[in-house]
Structure 1
Amino acid sequence: MNQETAKKLVQEGGLFIFLNVPEGTEFGIDMKSWNTGEKFRGVKMIPPGVHYIFYSATSNTGDIAPRTGFFHNFRKSEILVKKWDSQLEDISQEEVSQEEIVRLKDNIKALDGFLGPYPFDILDKWNNLCGNINDDLIKILTPLSGKVRSALELQSCSNADRPKGVKKNPNDAETSSGSSPKKSRLSNDTEHNFLPDLKPIEGTELRLTEFPKKNYPDGATPSEITKHSLDSTYVLDMMVSKLSDPVNIIGELEFCYICFLVGHSLEAFEHWKKLFSLFCSCESGIKKYRKLYDLFFSDISIQIKEIPEEFLADIVANKNFVYVKLKNLFNVIKSSDLDGQLKMKVERFQKELTDTYYWDFQHLESDEEDEAPVIVEI
């Protein structure tokens, strides 16, 4: 970074001041993390825009707590101040007073030596990962608690609310002697009833866009249900209709990916997989949502490169759903009448995946056609 850029960021960059953080705490911003030292007080020269700040408490024995983080859209020269709560081992729930923020700002020169510079080597990659995330989307998707946690906080029903005894199977018949029916063995459903009813504590779960309960409209005929099962454009229509801007579904894809990649949230990863699979299953929707698909391919080409090796290996072990879904989508686009610009973009992406991961998208198409379901008009 040249001196002119550095000088500009000193003047216009944001500051994240993090007070009373114990030494050794894992702390990070965007895609870089460190263990804090004795003098750590935060980060300076943060480029204006969306960033993800995260941390994990660390014990004296080196045990690391689950990761917690949050998104924040830094304005030019903005100062964001947070304090550590030693009892909660988390950010304090009390807001820092405006008077204290002003005092810190007036003494910023004295504090400068305790602030680490933003890691600019990851800025371009970061901007590509979150280019469609905005303030409104952050407010909509972030848990009411304001924090994204890698380990969901769960609560169970009280012991008094749990079912007691053995449920009688209504299908059991009386014996020939007229005696009462025998108690049946517990069914899987009954066994499930004896497990605690765990659910996220209210306000801690991600507020992601819900998928429709059915992938076809009310009143659909059997043949229409089959068509909607093969082409999920109806589901994409329903998802987009819930958003103020269709592009927000791409922003949600990015939001979930970052919560997974940086925030270690499996809840977000599961939603990312569902959105990814949806985009790969909308044959008639590709042309209808051409702009979204252009953004989708830009995002996925970056995201796949950043998927941790252990997760990529898991994907391969599970028949590589990323590869299978993309292969189907590539085949649909290849045979479609889409414009040449998008087709060229897809071809470049396909070649890049083949060169990098040796994924073969050219073969086995005939086998898939043989196994494809047949739509029967009734």
Structure 2
Amino acid sequence: MKNSFRGYIEDRTMGDASNMAPELAKYLFENGGTIIITDVPKGTDFGIDLKSWNTGENFKGMKMIPPGLHFIHYRAVNELGELSPRVGFFHIVKEKEILVKKWSKLAEDLDDQEINEEIVMRFKENLKDLDKFLGPYPYDMWKPWKDLTSKIDDNLIERCRPLCGYVRSALELVHCDDASRPRGSQTRKRRHHVMTLEEKEDLLLPDLKPLPGTELRLTQLPDKYYPDDATPTEITQYSLDSSYALNILLKKVKDPVEIIGELQLSFVCFLVGQSWDAFEHWKKLISLICRADRIIPERRVVYVEFLRTLEIQLAHVCEDFLCDIVSSNNFVYHHLRILFSNIESNSEVDGRLKSEAARARNRLTSKLSWDFENLQDEEDDEAPVVVAIE
């Protein structure tokens, strides 16, 4: 069944603004933001935050958008009705703001050129006449979206978003030499270290990199988990406890909790922006945080926020998607078992964090039927394998 923004958006999942409390509807109508997009072709997949719709012939944009952070996204449609990969951008909507964008038919994309201020003023003056062509923001989505993005601020967005301003699910790749290939030179030059499966697979990748300016600028994760002067025994220990590498990562950001904001940003870029690179970064952050042990007591605030954030995120993804296609191993569940085990056995962890972890375990068990019993008993096939590369 399809509803519509008064016939201007063919809605798949949209809530009706008429269900909103009159006081709230009045406030958003008078103070909410407005996005105006001209010349959008019929059938374009247009969305904001967690929902999307197919546009109708008279679609001009959205109104009553709550002030705050939003992710606007779209997928162009060609003459055959085929949709292109998703493109999106972050924008912090201010009260009563009117954001104007123009669709380029030639590029089948939003026009990058800045809209003339006179045109923007003309839209402001005629906003009442445009009202019937604007769809209301689905307010039932606002709280879940805020929960998913609670630690993302404008500084984090400015640091992490692509220089081009748009998050693209399909990046244009260009040829490069091995030295500039992502992780290429590092992987091939390092010797006498623990090589992960990912590093082995990286050796087989072609010499390609994203077109400069289009990639997400997420914090670079440590390329090794141990100091340069570590002995073979210490290398093994550092590989089992990622505290050293996590501490290096946290020193790269102004505030340690900023890494939780980056965890949220990479998740929504994957969930809504359909970015595979963001998904891979999200997984690596989870692995790095969960496999640390020694550092937990001194970074307890990070771990409290991590548990709360991850629990919220897990409500938005299918469990099957988290399973490795070969081993059928759920990587989030596997890493959470490691984290809960570390928290449980670490005598330096305070009682409040232990209690917070226990409550998270119980909620996840109740919602997802995940078994977190016998955390100290590690199965043979889950035990880490350390391989020294000569």
User: Structure 2-normalised TM-score?
Assistant: 0.82
Distance in 2 (CA, whole Å) between partners of 1:364 and 1:290 is 20
Unaligned runs of at least 5 residues, structure 2: 1-19, 178-199
Structure 1 segments unaligned to the other structure (5+ residues): 159-188
Shift of 1:368: 4.3
TM-superposition CA deviations, 1:112-132 (whole Å, max 9, x none): 111111111111110000000
Q: Distance in 1 between matches of 2:41 and 2:84?
A: 13
**Counterpart of 1:230?**
240
Match of 2:361?
A: 350
Give the letter for the 1:144 counterpart: L
Match of residue 352 from structure 2: 341
The offset of 1:79, in angstroms, is: 1.3
1:265 aligns with 2:275: yes
SS in 2 for 1:145: coil
After TM superposition, what 4+ stretches of structure 1 lie above 4 angstroms from structure 2? 313-317, 368-375
Residue 313 (structure 2) aligned to one of 289, 295, 303: 303
When the two chains are superposed, the root-mean-square deviation of aligned CA atoms in Å is 2.4
Distance change (3 Å), C-alpha of 1:317 and 1:126? farther
The alpha carbon displacement at 1:310 in A equals 4.8
2:87 pairs with 1:37? no
In 1, Cα distance between the equivalents of 2:322 and 2:145?
20
How far residue 218 of structure 1 moved from its aligned partner, in angstroms, is: 2.5
Aligned twin of 2:83: 64
* Number of the residue aligned with 1:366: 377
CA deviation profile, 1:135-194 (whole Å, cap 9, x unmatched): 111111111110000111112369xxxxxxxxxxxxxxxxxxxxxxxxxxxxxx9xx89x
Q: Distance in 2 between matches of 1:50 and 1:272?
A: 20
Q: Classify 1:371/1:251 alpha carbon distance in 2 versus 1 (closer, same or farther; 3 Å).
A: closer
Q: Secondary structure, in 3 states, of the residue corresponding to 1:71?
A: strand
> TM-score w.r.t. structure 1 length?
0.85
Structure 1 counterpart of 2:341, from 310, 326, 331: 331
Contact 2:32-2:66 at 8 Å conserved across structures? yes
Matched residue type, 1:54:
H
Question: Residue 157 of structure 1 contacts residue 196 of structure 1 at CA under 8 Å; is this kept in 2?
Answer: no
* Deviation per residue, 1:250-286 (Å, 9 max, x gap): 1110000000000111110000000011110110111
Provide closer, same or farther for how the CA distance between residues 100 and 61 of structure 1 changes in structure 2, counting only shifts above 3 A: same
Q: Pick one of 287, 306, 311 that aligns with 1:277.
A: 287
Which residue in 2 is equivalent to 1:243? 253
SS in 2 for 1:366: coil
Q: Is the 8 A contact 2:36 2:100 kept in 1?
A: yes
Bigger radius of gyration among the two: 1
Q: Aligned residue for 1:218?
A: 228
Answer with 213-222 or 97-106: which moved more. Answer: 213-222
Displacement of 1:318: 3.0
Q: Shift in Å at residue 355 of structure 1?
A: 2.0
CA deviation map 1:26-53 (0-9, x unaligned)? 0000001000011111111111111100
C-alpha contact 1:315 1:322 (8 A) present in aligned 2: no
Give the CA deviation at 1:335: 2.2
CA distance in 2, matches of 1:79, 1:368: 57
Read off the aligned partner of 2:115 and give its amino acid letter. Answer: V
Given that 2:341 and 2:375 are in contact with CA atoms closer than 8 Å, whether structure 1 keeps it comes out as no
Q: Indicate if the aligned counterparts of 1:25 and 1:55 stay in contact, CA closer than 8 A.
A: yes
**Cα distance between partner residues in 1 of 2:289 and 2:280:** 15
Question: Would the alpha carbon gap of residues 101 and 293 (structure 1) be closer, same or farther in structure 2, given more than 3 Å must change?
Answer: same
Q: CA deviation at 1:63?
A: 1.1
The reply to whether residue 95 of structure 1 matches residue 106 of structure 2 is: no
Identical amino acids, percent of aligned pairs: 52
Task: Give the Cα separation in 2 of the matches to 1:149 and 1:370.
Answer: 38
User: Distance in 2 between the 1:374 and 1:46 partners?
Assistant: 51
Question: How many pairs does the alignment contain?
Answer: 342
